Structures are given as C-alpha cells and as structure tokens.
C-alpha cells in the first residue's frame, strides 16, 4: 500500500524557475527518493515518488529556498491535498478485521504483507474491544 507512486506534472518548469533551480531541485528530489525528470523531449517535467517521499521533498524545498521553488511547492500542495496519506499496516489490519471478522491470519498477511506477529496483535486488539 505504501509503494504507490504519485506523479505530479510540472509544465514549462525551466521557463518558470530557471535551469539552475531545476538542477538543484532534481538533486534534492534524488536525496528524498523522488524523481524529477523531463518528459521525453518536451519542455514539460514531472515529479514522481511515494506519498511520504514527496512530502519530505516538499519540506526540503521549503527549507532550501521557498521563493524560487514556489511553483513546484504549489503544484505539490495541490496534488497532495487531493490524495489522502496511505494507511499504516495497523490501520489496514483493523479495517480488514472490522469488515470481515472471520478473516484468517493467512489472509491478513497476504492482503497487507505484514508479519504474523502484527496480524496476531491486530486480531488480539480487535477481540479485546
């Protein structure tokens, strides 16, 4: 669930923030496990990464120089507000157990890719409620 890639389009990026700012933003993106790349041979760019990594990239841009990266920051903010953050494994397990009380541990493990201990703990927490 946490490995969903989010792609944010950044049209005419170099024209809006300049080549040197794009180079620095690309380096910051790589440090935060995101990818800022040009789309084919066009003037358009895109940012892709996981939800948490894009949030970290946004924080890094704000810390570096928020004025020159305002275009990227507004695009990221508008896209991230439309998306909800991914659920934690505990939240996924709780939702599955509540919706299907007779679900087995093996099914929980296969659906959420959690460990057996996490599935047992979620089952125990549900049964003690």
Q: What is the pLDDT of residues 31-71, one digit of tens each?
A: 999 999 999 989 999 999 999 899 999 999 999 877 889 99
Q: How confident is the model at residue 1 (pLDDT cuts 50, 70, 90)?
A: very low
Whether the predicted pLDDT of 79 surpasses 70: yes
Q: How confident is the model at residue 10 (pLDDT cuts 50, 70, 90)?
A: very high
Q: How confident is the model at residue 3 (pLDDT cuts 50, 70, 90)?
A: low
Which top CATH class is 6-82?
A: alpha beta
Whole-prediction pTM: 0.64
CA gyration radius for the chain?
A: 20
Sheet holding 45-49, edge to edge: 6-10, 45-49, 35-38
């Amino acid at each position: 669930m946490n490995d969903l890639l989010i792609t944010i389009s950044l049209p005419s990026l170099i024209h809006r923030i300049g080549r040197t700012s794009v180079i620095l933003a690309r380096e910051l993106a790589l440090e935060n496990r995101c990818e800022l790349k040009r789309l084919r041979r066009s003037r358009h760019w895109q940012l892709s990464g996981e939800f948490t990594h894009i949030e970290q990239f946004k924080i890094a841009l704000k810390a570096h120089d928020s004025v020159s990266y305002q275009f990227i920051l507004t695009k990221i903010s508008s896209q991230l507000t439309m998306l909800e953050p991914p659920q934690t494994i505990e939240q996924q397990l709780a939702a599955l157990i509540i919706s299907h009380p007779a679900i087995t541990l093996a099914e929980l493990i296969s659906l959420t890719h959690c460990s057996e201990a996490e599935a047992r703990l979620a089952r125990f927490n549900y049964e003690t409620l």
